[in-house]
């Protein structure tokens, strides 16, 4: 919907990884360099870790888009909540090996033959395993055993492991010493900086045909970084929400206040806070509850989020008024958004 309003050729902030929108931050450029170095060795393991949403999969899509598919035979495993035997069979199937009704020894022979045939055609076999932090030690050992397959003194299979930061601790365990010795390159993908967050937003917008409409204020870029921490997936989610907000409000300016409002709505819709002292999820008192409580402390009623030291009646009344103002503004805005959405849907229906 907002693409049409802002004359964009594509949605710029999709959550699905797309190499066309790849933004080469300093960290991503270094990660690509490590991957390229590791692949040049033609053996062993290459490890890339990063927080959820840091861009590991997009990074891999970018790398694969640059590889000659005539040179590489590539298999990918994205489901890692499996046993060691299941992972073994998934790897086989990824390279075209028939895994039906076959013992492990038979499968291994078939796999070695498949790898030999790929090599005879001039192709190198590359296995990519995502979310490796979910793999058991037995499954990781299966991957190590597959890396032992050689032909003419050269490794027949190379593996890239993608995972969350905890995988680095798993890899450091004594049980994985042999696998660790086969890691030729490793890189941890960190978040974008404040400046890179701005450049990332502008880059994705430009790739989607952005011509300066809407105009992004400096405060808007800063607010996106503050709420996303520079994590690309969080940036995408927030910016998409902001553009929907802007289109429905029919504005040509994206302000810091709009980003704050969108971030607040996302937090309410999708996220929850930490645990309250009694083990329940904390929540803010509603206006009705605030009025009912009177002068008693918030904590005694099991409500969290009241201003520090504000347990007297006057303080609660001020808090009540503030919350009512916020609620009224939010209801009014959502009503405007709803009316605008109904109007747009009506126009779409008439046009169809």
Query: Residue 102: its pLDDT value, please?
Result: 86
Query: Which residues on adjacent β-strands are paired with residue 162?
Result: 48
**Does residue 350 register a pLDDT over 90?**
no
- The average confidence (pLDDT) of the chain is 83
Query: Residue 334: its pLDDT value, please?
Result: 59
Query: Residue 80: its pLDDT value, please?
Result: 72
Q: What is the pLDDT of residues 152-198, one digit of tens each?
A: 888 999 999 999 999 999 999 999 999 999 999 999 999 999 999 99
Query: Residue 275: its pLDDT value, please?
Result: 40
Cα distance between residue 24 and residue 291, in whole Å = 53
The helix/strand count (H/E) of the chain reads as 14, 9
Cα distance between residue 178 and residue 157, in whole Å = 16
**Does residue 244 register a pLDDT over 60?**
yes
pTM for this one?
A: 0.74
Going from the C-alpha of 48 to that of each of 28, 130, 251, 275, 304, the distances in angstroms are 11, 10, 41, 32, 40
Average pLDDT, stretch 320-343? 60
Domain boundaries, the chain: 1-9+194-272+327-352, 26-189
Query: Residue 39: its pLDDT value, please?
Result: 92
More confident residue, 291 or 129: 129
Cα distance between residue 181 and residue 192, in whole Å = 30
Q: Which CATH superfamily is domain 26-189 in?
A: P-loop containing nucleotide triphosphate hydrolases (3.40.50.300)
- Find the helix or strand (DSSP H, E) in which 47 lies: strand 45-50
**Does residue 113 register a pLDDT over 60?**
yes
């Amino acid at each position: 919907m907002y693409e049409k309003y802002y004359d964009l050729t594509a949605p710029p902030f999709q959550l699905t990884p797309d190499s066309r929108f790849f933004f080469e931050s300093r960290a991503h450029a270094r990660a690509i360099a490590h991957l390229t170095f590791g692949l040049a060795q033609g053996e062993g393991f290459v490890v890339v870790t990063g927080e959820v949403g840091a861009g590991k999969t997009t990074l891999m899509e970018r790398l694969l888009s640059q590889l000659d598919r005539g040179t590489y035979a590539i298999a990918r495993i994205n489901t890692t909540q499996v046993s060691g035997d299941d992972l073994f069979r998934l790897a086989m199937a990824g390279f075209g090996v028939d895994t039906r009704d076959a013992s492990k020894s038979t499968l291994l022979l078939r796999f070695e033959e498949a790898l030999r045939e790929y090599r005879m055609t001039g192709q190198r076999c590359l296995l990519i395993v995502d979310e490796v932090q979910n793999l058991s030690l037995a499954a990781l050992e299966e991957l190590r055993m597959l890396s032992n397959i050689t032909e003419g003194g050269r490794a027949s299979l190379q593996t890239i492991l993608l995972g969350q930061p905890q995988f680095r601790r798993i890899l450091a365990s004594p049980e994985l010493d042999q696998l660790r010795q086969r890691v030729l390159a490793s890189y941890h993908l960190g978040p974008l900086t404040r400046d890179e967050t701005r450049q990332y937003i502008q880059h994705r917008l430009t790739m989607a045909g952005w011509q300066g409409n809407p105009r992004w204020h400096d405060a808007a870029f800063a607010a996106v970084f503050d709420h996303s921490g520079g994590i690309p997936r969080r940036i995408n989610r927030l910016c998409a929400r902001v553009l929907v907000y802007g289109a429905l409000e029919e504005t040509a300016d994206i302000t810091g206040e709009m980003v704050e409002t969108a971030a607040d709505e996302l937090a309410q819709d999708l996220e929850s806070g930490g645990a309250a002292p009694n083990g329940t999820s904390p929540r803010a008192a509603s206006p009705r509850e605030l009025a009912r409580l009177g002068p008693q402390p918030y904590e005694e009623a099991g409500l969290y989020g009241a201003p520090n030291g504000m347990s007297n009646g006057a303080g609660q009344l001020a808090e009540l008024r503030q919350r009512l103002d916020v609620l009224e503004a939010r209801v009014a805005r959502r009503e405007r958004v709803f009316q605008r959405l109904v109007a747009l849907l009506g126009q779409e229906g008439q046009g169809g």
